[in-house]
Structure 1
Amino acid sequence: MSTHLFTLKNTNQKRAIQSLGLKKSLAKFQTLVKMPSKTLTKWGLSVLVLRLKKVIFL
């Protein structure tokens, strides 16, 4: 029984960490979008997309 609770707790912590990471990435994305288009390069967007994918598929 205690093992099951421990596993459940770890799963919930992992989900919380993922959602927190996703919120941070989305905040960065919103900040980038607000910047002038000159500073918003394809490279910057691709790095951000990779970070979002990494957070989602942890």
Structure 2
Amino acid sequence: MRTIPEYPKGIIKPSERGEIKVVYDTKYPGRFNKTIAVFYNSKGSPKILTIKGEIPYPKDVKN
């Protein structure tokens, strides 16, 4: 299991916006709860983001 982030590499000015994309790659079915810390140059840093989800179990296949 691993978490793969994509984020702007340059400076984001206070009047600008940026986007963070996070992909959680797992090979195991079931529920997951993953936290990510986002550090920035302002009050309140770091901000903790939580990713929650569920990977379905494979259905039984009859031959």
Higher strand share: 2
Q: TM-score range by the shorter chain?
A: under 0.3
Higher helix share: 1
Question: What is the TM-score when the length of structure 2 is the normalising length?
Answer: 0.23
Answer with 1 or 2: which has the greater Rg.
2
Q: Specify which structure has the bigger relative contact order, considering alpha-carbon pairs within 8 angstroms and separated by 6 or more residues.
A: 1
